[in-house]
Structure 1
Amino acid sequence: MSNLSQFIAALPKAELHLHIEGSFEPELMFNIAERNGITLPFDSVEALKKAYEFNNLQEFLDIYYQGMNVLQTEQDYYDLTMAYLQRVKTDNVRHVEIFWDPQGHLERNIAFSTQINGILKALEEGEQLLDISYRLIMSFLRHLPEESAFETLTQAEPYLDHIYGVGLDSSEVGHPPEKFARVFAACKEKGLKVTVHAGEEGPAEYVWQALDLIQVDRVDHGNRSLEDDKLVQRLVADQQVLTVCPLSNLKLQVVTDLSQHPIPNMLEAGLKATVNSDDPAYFGGYMNDNLNALQQAVGLDKAQLATLTRNAIEGSWAEAERKKLLLAELDQVIAEFT
């Protein structure tokens, strides 16, 4: 292991952009499918892994929603979430902010309570047993009408003490943030943080909408912000956090080669970029995989790696004391490696 990869391994990380359904490893998917008497359209784990090749976001989403179908019981949601937490513990991830897509499960007649109770049980155990703090983010599916998002918010009402923020994901092109301005205003009135996927496949204009119409607390992805100098200036002035996902960008053809990834340009411009895994089971890597692959592709140095980590901790929605602890750990790791 090189000195830089040792440094990456030692960094106390916060992951701010993770879809729990996207952490569904093929082996676990087959196990839960068998437990629930569901037949997957693949005859083996290997065949399913081969299907994890995509040319764009929609091709990925098609198989992503197919994988969701095996989740039926509270135990299934617990197992999925706990498997993710145990995996990222080995990457020294200390704080997670995970998205889940209730509409994708409600459409299959899985009760809201079944979903959230299983996920929360694992997150609470993970905090106690693995020392991984958390925030849960309920995400709306942008290919569905805003009315469906409002209905989901109504179902979430009894659980709002356990839901910290609300996001917007799924097919970006043709579904601008402005489509959801009213429901996000309602979320903010309820005291929820808001974040929106914007500027991944969609244009920089979607990032402007996220800032001005939705008044987001942070921006997920945001790659294409670099196409608009005024937007970059605005993001820097606001110290707006971008949750960037390198291996996801590569797998979905947002960048054709990791050596062309915009993270170095983002850091140079003063943007508060962070590195995250997005849907690690589908995109070939968890936090350390993303950081190592990016470091090797674009030549990130220790200072840049430390900045990305600091941005994530500071930009997280963790309690102030938790942030202080993780920032102190980060400073200690930096001192040990200099």
Structure 2
Amino acid sequence: MSASPVARAIASALDWLAGSQLPSGEFRTYASPDPNMEGGCRFDSSPFATSLVLYALGFVDDPRARSMAARGLDFLASEMEGPGLWRYWSSRNPRHRQLPPDLDDICCISHVLKAAGRELPANREIVLANRDEAGAFYTWLAPRTTTPAELARTINHLVGAETLLAVLLSGTANDVDCAVNANVLLYLGEGEETRGAIAYLLGVVRDGREKECNHFYPDLPAFYYVLSRACFNGVSALAPTRGPVLGRLLPLQQGDGSFGGALNTALAACTLLNLNEQTQALHRAVEHLLATQRHDGSWPRQPLFLGPAPYYGSEELTTAFCLEALSRYSPDILTRPGA
């Protein structure tokens, strides 16, 4: 495969994504009751999708990508509350205060801001205060029995009693999610304070509990993407997950090279790249992405994560993950015998 089809696909996708970015700098998320996201979709403003798009754009060496990133970073910074905290729903969303800040948003957004050299309040302590006894991280930011008094006052003031009560009544206040823990590690990195989260994730993969412990991402390629992303970004203690992840991911590839739609194919391709598995499976996945790109440069909307709707995704998200995969791909892959 020559480089030119990949380069053309990247250029077309960048043009489409630049045209889809909102004036605020946000990239859209849609919510839908339809698992195929073909009907009943509504715009659901959130900083989370924008953080994922900006991470993907970080691999694209192009002025259009840098321009989009600058505007997107401004949007993320404008949505910050208190000492470096974010909620899932943006301030532009009428549901903004229905949920407390959560570690998925906090850490994904903090990572891209920090990577871009943006100023960020010291929020490490407040994230670390949100761990269980074994050291794994809770999803929702809430005052805990182990939270220092000053931090507890900050959380109570920011979140509000009504929102905290809603989380308590839902039974999710002590939710521990494997994908969320992977995203916390992406931001905090490897160290003494994150050993518990690393041990938790190693155990999840060792015991094959990915679906049981993953409450927000319906498809395995999404979890393997965030897990391998943390490893790629320096959490080397997660290296033992490489073999099991590849052993479970590669059999999901279908005869047409896909892993079940463009979104999962892009996530799988990025996982292979994160794990330095540049074999024929990656080549076939990229071929599928090139074959399924739409004429306008985008790829179709598909659900990435779950919530009250319950399905959430967008063309912007799918296209960003496809851009990441294509931008990182080299057509001169070295295929191991039998790959």
TM over 0.5: no
* Higher percent of residues as strand: 1
TM-score, normalised by the number of residues in structure 2 = 0.31
TM-score, normalised by the number of residues in structure 1 = 0.31
